[in-house]
Amino acid sequence: MSSHEQRFRLFSSVEYEGQLYMTPQNFIESVTMSEPRNKKPWMSLTKQELEKILGDTPAVWQGTSKLFRNLRERGIIAYTEYLFLLCILTKPHAGFKIAFNMFDADGNQMVDKREFLVLQEIFRKKNEKKGRKGDVEKSAQLVRVVKKDSRQFVARSYWDVLRRGASQALFSDLAERAEEGMMIDTTLLVHFFGKKGKAELTFDDFYRFMDNLQTEVLEIEFLTYSKGMTTISEEDFARILLRYTNVENISSYLDNVRQSIPDEKGITFDEFRSFFQFLNNLEDFAIAMQMYNFASRSIGQDEFGRAVYVATGLKLTRHLVHTIFKIFDVDHDDQLSYKEFIGIMKDRLHRGGRGYKTAERFTSFKSCMKKELAGR
């Protein structure tokens, strides 16, 4: 059992027809807490109870950055959807279109229920016991289709071929399962595609959902420390950044902040969110730093701010940059050790992988797919 599966089982609280599910509240706890708040025995849902829950699910156009908090226990999230949601949390806004195109198998700029289930099916297949004949045959079929497309279809990109191959290789299997009544609707499926499953998802809907989910998780974490105020302290900001990283002596970093910023100004939610949007672009930032030969030496605040803007288009406030430097400036020379900063932030970025081995974390939607298709 993978560590993702172990964490899913740890936080899930609902069972239906022999399958475990998370509630929206379970999911929020899994990415903002190290342990479940109140671990209880799994609750079994009846068909009538599930129908009532799904019947109360809002449509995608009604989605807000409080969707999961409003639903709380009134919803179910399958394991494959859990993996999908984890991918979303670390995806930069610039990559939302790529994620949407991954689902859009026929390239018509709309995603229907069956297209959405294709990638979930890939996740499911790769998490089943390896070596089963059905998996081998389906994988071989996918390879044959991809090879055939590479000869007969002039693709716009590798991902076009992947979408077409996955579609042809897996749609028939999904149809069979649907006809046998094996497809259990979930909160996410009803939210995206309606109670009858006939609605289609536009890119605008998809973008808004992804942005709302990222914002909701950040709001929850921010509000935990703000205590109803409009800012959190610089020390609490440091504490949030360093949670669930491999940093051994967190107290020394917190001491840096207390000594270097005696007059507390506070970090606003906009500053807080802009920093985590920057973290989701960490790979682009690292490449930019290497291009400008900053990767091998310490850098100053102005250089850091310019590099962030060039690489990500994000403008971090001077106070936010100053705070970041005071957290990580262990030598007190007003310089930032690039390698140390990048290493720690890569740890902190993967909030869905807390407590996992680094090699098992997902870094982006593309890497999610690459790892699942390759079977790791």
Please indicate, yes or no, whether residues 92 and 207 belong to a single structural domain of this protein: yes
How many Cβ atoms sit within 10 Å of the Cβ of residue 199?
19
Residue 352 — pLDDT band, cuts 50, 70, 90? very low
- Per-residue pLDDT tens digits for 206-216: 999 999 999 99
- Residue type, position 323, single letter: T
In a domain, 328, yes or no: yes
Q: Which of 186, 212, 238 is the C-terminal boundary of a domain?
A: 212
Please indicate, yes or no, whether residues 157 and 91 belong to a single structural domain of this protein: yes
Q: What pLDDT is stored for residue 75 in this prediction? A: 96
- Per-residue pLDDT tens digits for 75-107: 999 998 998 898 888 888 888 888 888 788 788
**pLDDT of 219 above 80:** yes
Q: Which two tokens stand for residue 97?
A: 């279109």
Over 226-244, what HEC string results?
Answer: HCCCCEECHHHHHHHHHCC
How many Cβ atoms sit within 10 Å of the Cβ of residue 116?
22
Q: What pLDDT is stored for residue 303 in this prediction? A: 86
Q: What pLDDT is stored for residue 34 in this prediction? A: 82
In a domain, 372, yes or no: no
- DSSP state letter for 15: E
Please indicate, yes or no, whether residues 153 and 75 belong to a single structural domain of this protein: yes
Please indicate, yes or no, whether residues 262 and 143 belong to a single structural domain of this protein: no
Q: What pLDDT is stored for residue 295 in this prediction? A: 55
Please indicate, yes or no, whether residues 70 and 199 belong to a single structural domain of this protein: yes
- Per-residue pLDDT tens digits for 29-62: 999 888 888 888 899 999 999 999 999 999 999 9
**pLDDT of 274 above 90:** yes
**pLDDT of 25 above 90:** yes
Place of tokens 């507390």: 264
Please indicate, yes or no, whether residues 199 and 248 belong to a single structural domain of this protein: no
Number of alpha carbons in the 13 Å side-chain half-sphere of residue 361: 17
The residue segments making up the domain with residue 347 are 229-351
Q: Which of 212, 237, 261 is the C-terminal boundary of a domain?
A: 212
The mean per-residue pLDDT over the stretch 214-238 comes to 94
Please indicate, yes or no, whether residues 105 and 243 belong to a single structural domain of this protein: no
Q: What pLDDT is stored for residue 130 in this prediction? A: 39
In a domain, 217, yes or no: no
Please indicate, yes or no, whether residues 135 and 13 belong to a single structural domain of this protein: yes
CA distance 113 to 109: 14
In a domain, 360, yes or no: no
Q: What pLDDT is stored for residue 244 in this prediction? A: 66
Q: What pLDDT is stored for residue 87 in this prediction? A: 84
Pinpoint the alpha helices (H) of the chain: 3-11, 24-32, 47-55, 67-71, 79-89, 96-103, 113-127, 133-152, 158-179, 187-193, 203-226, 234-242, 250-260, 269-279, 282-291, 301-312, 318-328, 338-349, 365-374
In a domain, 368, yes or no: no
Number of alpha carbons in the 13 Å side-chain half-sphere of residue 278: 26
Q: What pLDDT is stored for residue 367 in this prediction? A: 53
In a domain, 373, yes or no: no
**pLDDT of 359 above 80:** no
Q: What pLDDT is stored for residue 2 in this prediction? A: 78
Residue 125 — pLDDT band, cuts 50, 70, 90? low
CA distance 343 to 339: 6
Non-local (6+) Cβ contacts of 232 within 8 A are 222, 225, 226, 240, 266, 267, 272
- Per-residue pLDDT tens digits for 158-181: 445 445 554 444 444 444 444 434
Place of tokens 């294709």: 118
User: 110-114, 296-300, 305-309, 355-359: lowest mean pLDDT where?
Assistant: 355-359
The mean per-residue pLDDT over the stretch 116-135 comes to 57
Total domains, the chain: 2
Residue 154 — pLDDT band, cuts 50, 70, 90? very low
**pLDDT of 265 above 70:** yes
Please indicate, yes or no, whether residues 112 and 174 belong to a single structural domain of this protein: yes
Residue 150 — pLDDT band, cuts 50, 70, 90? very low
Please indicate, yes or no, whether residues 296 and 323 belong to a single structural domain of this protein: yes
Please indicate, yes or no, whether residues 246 and 331 belong to a single structural domain of this protein: yes
In a domain, 168, yes or no: yes
In a domain, 22, yes or no: yes
Q: What pLDDT is stored for residue 168 in this prediction? A: 46
Please indicate, yes or no, whether residues 291 and 265 belong to a single structural domain of this protein: yes
Q: Which of 212, 241, 264 is the C-terminal boundary of a domain?
A: 212
